[in-house]
Chain A
Amino acid sequence: MIVLSVDDSAIIRKIIRGAVEVLEGTLLEASDGEEALEIMDKHDGIDLILLDWNMPGMNGWELLNRIKSHPVYKYIPVMMVTTEGERENIVRAIRAGAVHYLVKPFTTEDLQKKILECLGRGDISSN
């Protein structure tokens, strides 16, 4: 399992890395949308993208639209990782093709459960 975390917060990426490693997965990390696109160009087989909403440069919304309009990347499931204040954007993101969302603050268990759900190893349910 290869997961790409796109988040400008290194500490959040660290938390996500810990959760993914427990699931015996590999985490690729990008701190903004441009870096994420570079990583996606270089790596085949990304199974899931965890995407922060509020980032400098290309934000999560712009990147989500770039991914979902790409002939290859559009098939990679995207889970939005947002703060409570961006909750209103979740509907917009789901309509644009995101498959799930996780609201910060979250527990490692929540994160792992939702990663598995996005990968078809659990039931997707709203939170």
Chain B
Amino acid sequence: MAGILVDEQPCPVGGGFKTTCDYTGAMLVIGRRTAMITLSMSREAAKLVVAYMTGISPAELEEDDLADGMAELVNMIAGSSKSSLVGTDFHFRITLPFVLVGENQHIVYKSKPVDRCKHYFAGDIEATLELVYLEG
């Protein structure tokens, strides 16, 4: 549905790394451990991704469409991860997706660095996917 081929690379290692973005799609993953999956990108990137996903011209996409599209994307990513773990000991539940919207925002985690982080690139589109365990 998104129809985009992307290149990926690990995020820089180190405590100073921050992902700054305008839209973050997020879902909680609840199992033996509790984690949050986030997909973050700029407003321009979100427009392109949601346009690819829907077939709607970027110019016609409204703010609600972008937030909704980001929620659906992270839903699909978390859902795919969940499916790949069926039959293993790592079964988990996922919550409904939600979206953080705001210019140049980033998430500050209280106690832990990001556990898994990847950057994705496709032309002008840049996105960051993170998984963070939320236990103390």
Contacts and interface: CB of A to CB of B under 8 A. Distances in A.
A14 B64 CA distance: 12
Interface in A35-82: 54-56, 82
Contacts, number: 66
Interface string A97-127: 0000000111110000000000000000000
Contact of B82 (A9, A12, A84): A84
Given A11-B50, A54-B96, A83 B75 contact: yes
Contacts of A107: 1
Residues of B in contact with A, size category: 20 to 34
B62 to A, nearest CB: 10
B111 to A, nearest CB: 27
Contacts of B50: 11
B6 interface: no
Query: 5 tightest A-B contacts by CB?
Result: A83-B79, A85-B79, A105-B1, A85-B82, A84-B83
22 contacts: A9-B72, A11-B54, A14-B56, A14-B65, A15-B1, A15-B53, A18-B54, A18-B55, A54-B75, A55-B96, A56-B96, A82-B79, A83-B75, A83-B76, A83-B79, A84-B80, A84-B82, A85-B80, A85-B82, A104-B1, A104-B75, A108-B55
